Amino acid sequence: GQQVMQIPQYQHVQEGEDFTTYCNSSTTLSNIQWYKQRPGGHPVFLIQLVKSGEVKKQKRLTFQFGEAKKNSSLHITATQTTDVGTYFCAGSAGGTSYGKLTFGQGTILTVHP
């Protein structure tokens, strides 16, 4: 079945440093979504990428979808303590599986002030 791998598992940064998490799928995706889960909370939708090579920005967050639609990345510039949490990518295969998401393992981000 479809597998989504995400690295790194943990990332500790000093406030102001940049952060990147990477996501790789074993199969070509229809779309990929990114979620953030704060400690003790539930996942919150950040963004969806659909097109090959797509790049989207949300303030300090930059999301990329690879040309082959099998990998993606999330980059945060100049991290802040409010960025703390677990970032998950989630891929959708589309077709009859449309809407069904396979989550990566998540990257736990810690930001030291």
Partner 1 sequence: GAVVSQHPSRVICKSGTSVKIECRSLDFQATTMFWYRQFPKQSLMLMATSNEGSKATYEQGVEKDKFLINHASLTLSTLTVTSAHPEDSSFYICSASFVAYEQYFGPGTRLTVT
Contacts with partner 1, residue ranges (CB under 8 A)? 1, 31, 33, 35, 41-45, 48, 88, 92, 98-106, 108
- Decide if 94 contacts 31 (C-beta within 8 A): yes
For partner 1, the closer of residues 16 and 52 by Cβ is: 52
For partner 1, the closer of residues 16 and 41 by Cβ is: 41
The span from the CA of 3 to the CA of 27, in Å, is 8
**Cβ 95 to partner 1 shortest distance, Å:** 13
For partner 1, the closer of residues 57 and 100 by Cβ is: 100
- Decide if 8 contacts 110 (C-beta within 8 A): no
For partner 1, the closer of residues 66 and 106 by Cβ is: 106
**Cβ 40 to partner 1 shortest distance, Å:** 9
The span from the CA of 83 to the CA of 109, in Å, is 8
**Cβ 6 to partner 1 shortest distance, Å:** 8
Q: What share of the chain is helix, strand, coil (3-state, %, to 5)?
A: 5, 55, 40
